[in-house]
């Protein structure tokens, strides 16, 4: 799914304020009618047509733990990831380190 540009969102809100029908706006801006409805509803609720930002979760790692792993790897370049994780008290999965 391609994100809808802020320019299109502004045009959508302006057209809706003029009283145009959602189906016509959707055809004109080449987007689905449901997207038009969702953006208009969000605009009415918040007063902004900008998309909602979802920043994600807080990082599990801390700077101190990362420095600890980095230092251990520098001192033991031949150590495996498992050995590094045991030494630094963090879990290791196939995707990488999980600091707790």
Residue 61 pLDDT: 67
* Residue 69 pLDDT level (bands cut at 50, 70, 90): confident
DSSP percent split of the chain into helix, strand, coil, nearest 5 = 55, 5, 40
* Residue 21 pLDDT level (bands cut at 50, 70, 90): very high
- pTM here is 0.55
Tell me how crowded residue 39 is: count the other CB atoms within 10 A of its CB.
Answer: 23
Q: How far is CA 60 from the centre of its chain?
A: 16
């Amino acid at each position: 799914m391609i994100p809808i540009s802020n320019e299109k969102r502004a045009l959508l809100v302006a057209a809706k304020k003029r009283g145009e029908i959602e189906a016509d706006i959707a055809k004109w801006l080449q987007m689905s009618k449901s997207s038009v409805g969702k953006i208009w509803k969000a605009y009415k609720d918040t007063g902004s047509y900008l998309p909602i930002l979802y920043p994600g979760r807080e990082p599990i790692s801390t700077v101190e733990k990362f420095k600890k792993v980095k230092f251990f790897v520098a001192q033991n370049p031949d150590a495996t990831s498992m050995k590094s994780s045991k030494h630094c008290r963090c879990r290791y999965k196939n995707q990488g380190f999980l600091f707790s």
